[in-house]
């Protein structure tokens, strides 16, 4: 690759610079021209020992900060010991070979040499271990993180830091000091030009962070090709998209869970008790385990963008678009199934917070705490790939996932059929039929409990049949192995009106800022007999669906004028 090509053509590297500022070369030379002996000093300790043999001790003390007599006993982080010029140049000592005076050569290091010395230099600062030129590879490995699991920098460091680290590592210990390199590409302006202060062709990062949060920005960058060394045309729209798809969706799901979870205090989620619970719970746990495996694998291979994509898939496609959407009614009912749904979603949110922790740390922390995390912080948790993940992965539930995939496909086609005939989902239809040879939702010999009901609910049909040949003829439309019967009889029509009215009243509730704790009385006025009869007939069902204690017909109602299937009705909601 790129690095290999650079190495092939690498030339000699002059590591010294004739400058004043910089790390001084630790090389002393005998000033006797006939001798010219060189001494390379390998540690601070050695400098101190040598400097005790100083030729003119009093001069050295008076002209520098190097307090030669006491320096050996001082802790090394005491600023008294300054290894830079001019002080280091005061350290002179007698030559071993002749009587001449050893003096440091004037050069300093190329600053890239120091970047290459990072592993040893930073460990010198942060550990108690005293490195020296005599440190063996084994000693090094037992004291510092050498070689490092990974380093991360921009692609422009191919000839810079990546190279200098390698040169020093190989020269000193015959080994690369890093196992992996995460190379980020160049971030360009949205039109592909170089970002330029003069052209101001990029948004102010602080403003982007203020608007969308640091996590959205971070997630956006980590999910882009920039983490694979590709250049990225930075787009604020991209950050906005991440904000909506990751941050907002997660918060919406959390809020949904919080709305219904307050009455259940004793959460205990046991994977071993999954059998017999709703097919949706078992399915989402299977998906969660798959997602955890996928994210773990991605991160272990340093494919951060793949990890991000998996997380988006989990939040958006699996949890929000299907699990929560199809479980809404379960949360509203009472009983064991509701508890199972609440506990399952809590478990999903907790595990999701762990997956998010390295990528969106603030969102992860909020999610963890708000969904009942037990520790002080999600960042103190273990990584989520626990034993249960393996158990689920090895279980039979992959069949469930296969069936669910087909169900979702069938529903998608069903929705498209509805779109084509412009029959809204709110309007119930009589029948849906599925071609047996195309969809093996019963291929394992049985159709799982609850699978058909999912199609019934999602497509809002009265019955679903699996047939050898799809029906045709009046009222039937079909596509890709799915057929819908579109003729709407009187009963269906009435139901459609109920649903439509429900939706409109719930919109009014939302506009008035009512929560699920608020009950209302619905006052209404209409001249339409169809609506009047429908309300009287379906009063109970309506009341439950819009959290009303009663529906009362009044005259001169002052409220919102709404149309239900073209029929006018005036509605006023009175908070009880
Ligand atoms: Zn000499």
What mean pLDDT is reported for the chain? 87
| H or E stretch at 247 | none
Q: Which of these ranges, 70-84, 155-169, 431-445, has the smallest mean pLDDT? A: 70-84
* CATH code for position 443: 3.30.2320
Is the pLDDT higher at 349 or at 276?
A: 349
Number of domains present in the structure of the chain: 4
Distance in Å, CA 37 to ligand 1 centroid: 5
Same domain, 291 and 357: yes
Same domain, 294 and 429: no
Same domain, 412 and 389: no
Res 63 pLDDT > 70:
no
Res 348 pLDDT > 80:
yes
Q: Average of pLDDT values for 489-514? A: 90
Task: Answer yes or no: are the C-beta atoms of 465 and 397 closer than 8 Å.
Answer: no
Name 564's bridge partners: 567
- In tens, the pLDDT along 182-223 reads 999 999 999 999 998 888 899 999 999 999 999 999 999 999
Distance in Å, CA 32 to ligand 1 centroid: 6
Query: Would you state the pLDDT for residue 123?
Result: 65
Q: Which of 73, 106, 139 is the last residue of a domain?
A: 106
In sequence order, the 6+-apart residues with CB closer than 8 A to the CB of 163 are 3, 6, 7, 10, 116, 157
Name 180's bridge partners: 150
* Band of pLDDT at residue 280, cut at 50, 70 and 90: very high
- Which phi and psi angles does 553 have, rounded to 5°? -85, 130
* Band of pLDDT at residue 127, cut at 50, 70 and 90: low
Name 195's bridge partners: none
CA distance 471 to 435: 10
Same domain, 548 and 471: no
Query: Would you state the pLDDT for residue 60?
Result: 44
Same domain, 272 and 391: yes
Domain contains 214: no
Query: Would you state the pLDDT for residue 169?
Result: 92
Same domain, 378 and 415: no
Burial label for 469, CB within 10 Å (0-12, 13-18, 19+), is: exposed
Query: Would you state the pLDDT for residue 66?
Result: 42
Distance in Å, CA 38 to ligand 1 centroid: 8
| The pairing of beta strand 560-564 with beta strand 567-575 | antiparallel
Task: Answer yes or no: are the C-beta atoms of 547 and 517 closer than 8 Å.
Answer: no
Is the pLDDT higher at 50 or at 193?
A: 193
Res 74 pLDDT > 60:
no
User: Is residue 135 left, alpha or beta, with left meaning phi > 0 and alpha meaning psi from -120 to 50?
Assistant: beta
CA distance 412 to 414: 5
Report the SS3 class of residue 562: strand
Domain contains 314: yes
Q: What six digits make up the tokens of 256?
A: 């949904």
- % of the chain residues with pLDDT over 90: 57
Report the SS3 class of residue 230: coil
Domain contains 371: yes
Strand spans (E) along 447-494? 461-467, 476-479, 482-485
Domain contains 373: yes
Task: Answer yes or no: are the C-beta atoms of 183 and 154 closer than 8 Å.
Answer: yes
* CATH code for position 390: 1.10.730.10
Same domain, 501 and 410: no
- The half-sphere exposure of 273 on its side-chain side, counting CA atoms within 13 A, is 7
Report the SS3 class of residue 303: coil
Same domain, 249 and 334: yes
- In tens, the pLDDT along 430-457 reads 999 999 888 877 645 567 778 889 999 9
* Band of pLDDT at residue 272, cut at 50, 70 and 90: confident
Domain contains 443: yes
DSSP string, 366-417: HHHHHTT-SSS-GGGSPPS--HHHHHHHTSTTHHHHHHHHHHHHHHHHHHHH
Query: Would you state the pLDDT for residue 422?
Result: 87
Distance in Å, CA 102 to ligand 1 centroid: 7
Query: Would you state the pLDDT for residue 449?
Result: 75
Q: Which of 460, 488, 516 is the last residue of a domain?
A: 488
* Band of pLDDT at residue 58, cut at 50, 70 and 90: very low
Q: Which of these ranges, 1-5, 100-104, 413-417, has the smallest mean pLDDT? A: 1-5
Per-range mean pLDDT, top range of 69-83, 252-266, 295-309, 435-449: 295-309
Distance in Å, CA 531 to ligand 1 centroid: 111
Same domain, 410 and 542: no
Per the listing, tokens 């678009």 go with: 321
Distance in Å, CA 92 to ligand 1 centroid: 12
Q: Which of 106, 130, 159 is the last residue of a domain?
A: 106
CA distances from 50 to 25, 39, 263 (A): 16, 11, 76
Query: Would you state the pLDDT for residue 53?
Result: 53
Distance in Å, CA 66 to ligand 1 centroid: 24
Domain contains 209: no
Same domain, 314 and 381: yes
Structural domain of 48:
26-106
Distance in Å, CA 7 to ligand 1 centroid: 39
Domain contains 335: yes
Domain contains 210: no
Same domain, 386 and 469: no
Distance in Å, CA 98 to ligand 1 centroid: 4
Task: Answer yes or no: are the C-beta atoms of 476 and 534 closer than 8 Å.
Answer: no
Same domain, 308 and 376: yes
């Amino acid at each position: 690759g790129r690095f290999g090509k650079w190495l092939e053509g690498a030339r000699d590297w002059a590591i010294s610079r004739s400058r004043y500022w910089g790390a001084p070369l630790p090389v002393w030379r005998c000033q006797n021209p006939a001798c010219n002996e060189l001494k390379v000093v390998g540690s601070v300790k050695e400098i101190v020992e040598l400097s005790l043999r100083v030729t003119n001790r009093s001069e050295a003390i008076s002209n520098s900060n190097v307090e030669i007599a006491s320096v050996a006993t001082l802790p090394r982080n005491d600023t008294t010991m300054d290894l830079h010029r001019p002080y280091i140049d005061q350290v002179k000592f007698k030559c071993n070979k002749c009587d001449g005076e050893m003096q440091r050569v004037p050069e300093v290091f190329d600053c890239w040499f120091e970047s290459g010395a990072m592993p040893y230099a930073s460990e010198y600062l942060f550990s108690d271990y005293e490195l020296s030129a005599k440190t063996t590879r084994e000693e090094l490995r037992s004291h510092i993180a050498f070689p490092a699991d990974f380093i991360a920098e921009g692609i422009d460091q191919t000839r810079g830091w990546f190279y200098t680290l390698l040169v020093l590592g190989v020269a000193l210990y015959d080994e690369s000091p890093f196992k992996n390199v995460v190379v980020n590409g160049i971030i360009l302006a949205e039109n592909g030009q170089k970002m330029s202060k003069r052209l101001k062709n990029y948004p102010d990062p602080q403003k982007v962070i203020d608007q969308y949060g640091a996590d959205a920005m971070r997630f956006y960058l980590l999910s882009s090709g920039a983490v694979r060394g590709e250049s990225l045309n930075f787009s604020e729209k991209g950050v906005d998209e991440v904000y909506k798809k990751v941050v907002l969706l997660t918060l919406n799901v959390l809020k949904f869970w919080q709305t219904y979870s307050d009455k259940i205090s004793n959460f205990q989620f046991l994977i071993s008790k999954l059998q017999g619970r709703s097919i949706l719970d078992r399915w989402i746990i299977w998906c969660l385990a798959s997602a955890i495996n996928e994210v773990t694998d991605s991160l272990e291979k340093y494919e951060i963008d793949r990890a991000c994509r998996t997380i988006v898939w989990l939040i958006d496609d699996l949890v929000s678009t299907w699990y929560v959407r199809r479980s809404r009614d379960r949360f509203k009912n009472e009983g064991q199934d509701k508890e199972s749904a609440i506990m399952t979603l809590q478990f999903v949110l907790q595990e999701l917070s762990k997956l998010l922790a390295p990528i969106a740390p603030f969102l992860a922390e909020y999610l963890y705490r708000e969904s009942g995390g037990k520790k002080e912080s999600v960042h103190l948790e273990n990584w989520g790939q626990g034993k249960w993940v393996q158990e689920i992965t090895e279980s039979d539930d992959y069949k469930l996932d296969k069936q669910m995939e087909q169900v979702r496909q069938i529903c998608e086609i069903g929705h498209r059929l509805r779109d084509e005939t412009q029959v809204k989902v709110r309007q119930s239809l009589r029948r849906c039929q599925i071609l047996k040879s195309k969809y093996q939702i019963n291929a394992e010999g049985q159709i799982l409990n609850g699978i058909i009901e999912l199609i019934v609910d999602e497509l809002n049909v009265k019955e679903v049949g699996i047939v050898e040949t799809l029906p045709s003829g009046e009222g039937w439309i079909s596509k890709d192995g799915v057929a819908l019967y579109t003729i709407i009889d009187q009963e269906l029509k009435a139901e459609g009106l109920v649903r439509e009215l429900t939706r409109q009243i719930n919109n009014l509730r939302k506009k008035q800022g009512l929560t699920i704790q608020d009950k209302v009385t619905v006052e209404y006025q209409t001249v339409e007999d169809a609506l009047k009869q429908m309300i009287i007939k379906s009063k109970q069902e309506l009341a439950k669906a819009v959290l009303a204690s009663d529906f009362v017909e009044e005259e001169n109602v002052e409220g919102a004028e709404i149309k239900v299937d073209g029929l006018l009705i005036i509605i006023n909601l009175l908070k009880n």
